[in-house]
Structure 1
């Protein structure tokens, strides 16, 4: 049996091995990006889809998304799990400001952290990207001051008191209302950002003695719709109450459509922009220039411009 061809092939493989290794070493690094979502809703479903599509543009990104379903303890565990897995970068939408210690742990371990949509009490993050919630609140108040020339008695339905959007939207809205003699906040209540939660809060409020109101500003469209259902249940003339929200999602049942058909008086676009979030993440990971504070554009939506 002639062994020379076999020996020749083995020698050739050995000679080519360094070439194969050098080719493998020049391949793009695989980046693992962990995404910690505080909850699950239509707005976040749209964001997650945008993140996935944007990640496909890069053939070296492993995107892992976890949702805490409004459970702060679960979100803490999920963030810690991402840290223990050794992800290359973490994107977090904090459910409440109390989630800070878990995010701090990731940052202190050298994992770049992008805070998206909401803030924490901590300054330990690599970059922030989101809309200006205080500006959104103040812009809605400015609009109502002009759209309700006869004045308005406003019931403000806030999100969770421990979440940064609720805190900031109230600050912006309340500060402008305080300077407009025709506007008055007659009551404030807090719900959990969901339609059903808002329905329960409003149902309870309307079941007892309460101040009269002709405008309701909810911190998102879903809560505005929950409040509207409760008002209808208690026999209020919902067509004479101006219901306003925030998010202005364009699909069926979203705030933009609800403004178009007159169900809501006004809303405010709260952008998702998953493409920009992924771009920011890749700039950080590949050592490109990036800004630490990144503000997304938003806009008021009324019947005049909804279409």
Structure 2
């Protein structure tokens, strides 16, 4: 029988190495089998370690409730903590880094065993992480990265490869337009300014589309990862002469894309036909809109990180070494694939 740590490392290696690619028509090509891309790591993995000698107390600073993705992420962490027998102290920062600092200092005063942080932005974390280090509390960064000079300030980062998500979106667009001459005008709805996913997704997308100089991002504005702002910003972007309107929309998350779809329809355009729409997250709402033909493709960003976070917490408390980066398996889906996949969506 595999020892628990060996089982964890084996399954984690499978998770990190899996990849999936697609043909020109959007069909899924065969790939090695591993954990389901939506279910991620199952609760069976952390059950193998067994209960710790004393109940672990985990302080978690969640950045907010700005999107369907975020709410699914929170629910995953809450349910995984309960199943793993870990006491979860969670604070909602409501998109404020200052509130995150306050929550972290509160966790230090309460002498929690581990602190997990989903940072609202990636800069400005070194001083507070130094405080946590001085208190002798290990830190796990989840979802979004932090920009610090000393990576020893945290044990591991659990989260998606946002740059690669942007790359996938760009590759889809190149494939979609391979027989269509330019120029092509692209509108971009960014997420929260200064956040890791917004920065990396934009850079990944640009790194691919630069292969075609006739593809131009002519409009790019932040919409804060919310449906309301996606609608408002897209409505404003369409207030230009028809010849200046974009024919492609790249939205950094589904909520913004869904808001933008409404603005596009109000402008008398047909989303998914008059304008190619590419989004990131993979929520049920986005899949429903793909089934309706309103969104062309969605790059998955898996929010169900709770089991992996609880597994990491148990490993840390057991004194075991973890990889510095843990990336969940993720996929890309086109509207042709959406109908079959919709029933499997967990969020």
Could you say whether these structures have the same fold, taking a TM-score greater than 0.5 normalized by the shorter chain as the test? yes
Correspondence for 1:20: none
For normalisation by structure 1, the TM-score amounts to: 0.84
**Residue equivalent to 1:138:** 167
Q: Which residue of 2 aligns with 1:28?
A: 53
Inter-partner Cα distance in structure 2 for 1:129 and 1:287: 18
Indicate yes or no: 2:142 matched with 1:88: no
1:291 matches 2:323? yes
Equivalent residue number for residue 258 of structure 1: 289
Q: Retained in 1: the 8 A contact 2:168–2:299?
A: no
Q: Which blocks of at least 5 consecutive residues in structure 1 are unaligned?
A: 1-26
Length-normalised TM-score, structure 2: 0.74
- Report the CA distance between 1:208 and its aligned residue: 5.0
CA distance in 1, matches of 2:321, 2:291: 41
C-alpha displacement of 1:132: 0.5
- Tell me the SS of whatever aligns to 2:337: coil
- Matching residue of 1:180: 212
Deviations 1:54-78 (A, max 9, x none): 223333x211121112122222212
Length, aligned pairs only: 278
Of structures 1 and 2, the one scoring higher in RCO (CA 8 A, sep 6+) is 2
Contact kept in structure 2, 1:259 and 1:301, CA below 8 Å: no
3-state SS in 2 of match to 1:137:
helix
What is the CA–CA distance in structure 2 between the aligned matches of 1:106 and 1:64, rounded to whole Å? 16
**Is residue 2:99 matched to residue 1:74?**
yes
The 5-angstrom pairing of residues 1-307 of structure 1 reads 28-40=53-65, 41-59=67-85, 61-100=86-125, 101-122=127-148, 123=151, 124-149=153-178, 150-151=180-181, 152-208=184-240, 211-238=244-271, 239-249=273-283, 251=284, 253=285, 255-272=286-303, 273-306=305-338, 307=340
For structure 2, the 5+ residue unaligned runs are 1-51, 341-347
Q: 1-side partners of 2:130 and 2:294: how far apart? A: 42
Structure 1 contact 33–87 (Cα < 8 Å) conserved = yes
Larger Rg: 1
1:261–1:208 Cα change, 3 Å: closer
Mapped to 2, the partners of 1:223 and 1:38 lie a distance apart of 18
When the two chains are superposed, the root-mean-square deviation of aligned CA atoms in Å is 2.1
Distance 1:257 1:235, change over 3 A: closer
Per-residue deviation at 1:127? 0.6
